[in-house]
Each structure stands twice: as C-alpha cells, then as structure tokens.
Amino acid sequence: MTSFRKYALLLVLILVVLCLEVACSRGPDLILATTTSARDSGLYDILLPRFEKETGTKVAIVAVGTGQALKLAENGDADLLLVHAPDREKQFVDNGFGVARIPIMHNYFIVVGPAADPAGIVGSPSAADAFRSILKADALFVSRGDDSGTHMKELSIWKAAGITPDPQSLKTYRETGQGMGATLRIADELSAYVLCDKATYLNYRSELALKILFEEDPLLLNPYSLIAVNPDRHPHVNSHDAQRLIDWLTSADVQRIIADYKIKGERLFWPDAHPEVMKGDQASQPSTTSPSPSPKPSG
C-alpha cells in the first residue's frame, strides 16, 4: 500500500471517528419547557423515549415553574411549552409569543397533610374552607412560592378564602421556592399541609407520611396545555419538531397511553385532546370534573 493510500485511509478513519463522536454528543433537537409537576409525575419517562424512538428527534426537558417556563419561551429559549396556568397561557398567546393553546390532559389538585389532621380539614365544604381551617388552627402550610401553576392555584384558593398569606408576617406559612417533588418532601419532613397535583403525590406516595386530606372541589381542576413558541417572534425556534410532538401527544394512540398511565391502579391524568378514549371508563373520573375542553387550538 502506497504512503498516499495509507494517508487517505487514515484520514477516512479519522473522519468516521469524528462523525461518530459528533453523533453521540449531538444536542437535543427540541427543547420542551414544562412544569416540575408534569415531570415529577413520571409521565415523561413513559412518553418521550417512545417519541424519540419513533421519530429520531431528541427532546430536552427544562422543568421549572410555569411562570419560569413562560419566561423562557418569551425569550426564545424553548421551542414548546407544556404548562398548567390557563390565564397566563392565554396572555402568552394573546401577546404573540405562542401559536395556540392545545389542551392535552387534566388532573386535580389535592390538599395533603399529616394523618392526624390537626386543622380538621377532612370533610370541609370547599378548598377555601380547608385553607381557612389551616390558618385558624395555626397549622404549618408549605407553599412552593415559585410562580408555578401550582403556586398560582394555591394563591387563587387563598383569595377565595379571603386571605392573603404573607411569609414575612405569618410564621406558619413557609415558601420553598422549589419544584413539586422537593416541596412535598419538605412538607413531609415538617408534617405540614401542602397543595399538590395528585399525579406527583401518587408518584411519591410510597416515600411520604403525608395523606390526602381534601379533594374533589371544582376549583381544584388542573388542566395542562401545549403551546408552540411563535416562530414569527423567534425565527430560530424548532417549530417543525414542536408541531410534530404536539401532533404525536394529541394523537388518539398516545392519548390512550396517557389515560392508561396509572400508579398502583390509580389514574394520574385524563386525556383532553381525545376524551373519547375514556369511553366505558368514566367511573374512575372524580365527580367534580368539568366538561373536557375542545381538542382544537384555543387562544
């Protein structure tokens, strides 16, 4: 073999190795900014590997509070949102940052706390009454305090109760500034009450002493939506793969996977893009359910 051929072969081998290294170290194709509650439910561990295998598209999850997720998207630092704060989502779309709100699924918030229930919230007429009882009993309440969808919901319940909690003046009200899973663990260590989405609680329940003490109030409905970041506002976003993931997640087959996702026999989410996949299985849905939103984009 001539020295030239040896050199050419060596060069080809080097190029192959470099290509393999680039392929192995390739960054994500799509950035999904989402809530810590959706991540902590374990649902993404079921869905995203299937999507990546079927499409070859790599997805990076940035799990933060809904407020932070919306801010990332406003700055063009995400391609797609999966969040759960309807009023803020509508504002985001109306301001031109998002293409449309696409309902994907819903579940419910619950109030969990120590089994002894020192505030006596079991059997309360409403979530607002439960919160009033917690405050009246000087019982410890842990809040995420992070501008997340859960935090926004919590504040709306306090407002319905006619109370404005202030962590500076109210010693029994603690803010963690952390995600749902971490906040649950802190509340558990403190034997405190906390508002939580039911999916995350069920995923962590085996690690916790906290019990479900109040649920099934219409105010506790927790809808999730998908929003693609508007490429007219941020031309660099990957709108093609964002729409591809939206279409995949809202397909009937994947909505069935979402409906079938359970922990110890308990359903974590109800599909909203194709609610008909729940036919014959409606008994498992809480009685407080609002009518399923339309699968069509709204904004």
Which tokens sit at 263? 């922990």
Between vectors from CA 220 to CA 97 and to CA 174, what angle results, nearest 5°? Answer: 85
Domain at 30-107+223-284, CATH homologous superfamily: Periplasmic binding protein-like II (3.40.190.10)
Give residue 13's pLDDT band: very low, low, confident or very high (50, 70, 90): very low
Query: Which pLDDT does position 114 carry in this prediction?
Result: 98
Extents of the domains making up the chain: 30-107+223-284, 108-220
Is a pLDDT exceeding 60 seen at residue 173?
Answer: yes
31-76 tens-digit pLDDT:
999 998 899 899 999 999 999 999 999 999 999 999 999 999 999 9
What pLDDT was estimated at residue 278? 87
pLDDT higher than threshold 70 for residue 121: yes
At residue 286 the predicted structure's pLDDT band, cuts being 50, 70 and 90, is low
pLDDT band at 299 (very low <50, low <70, confident <90, very high): very low
Rounded Cα gap, residues 233 and 22, in angstroms: 30
pLDDT the model gives residue 24: 38
Give the pTM: 0.81
CA 106 to chain centre: 10
Q: Which fold has domain 108-220?
A: D-Maltodextrin-Binding Protein; domain 2 (3.40.190)
Strand partners, 270: 106
Identical fold for domains 30-107+223-284 and 108-220, yes or no, is yes
What is the pLDDT, as a whole number, of residue 289? 41
Question: Is the confidence at residue 106, as pLDDT, over 70?
Answer: yes
What is the arithmetic mean of pLDDT over 239-247? 98
Q: Interior CA angle at 237 toward 231 and 242, to 5°? A: 90
Q: What is the structure's pLDDT at 1?
A: 52
Mean predicted lDDT score pLDDT of the chain: 87
> Of the candidates 152, 205, 178, which has an alpha carbon nearest to the alpha carbon of residue 41?
205
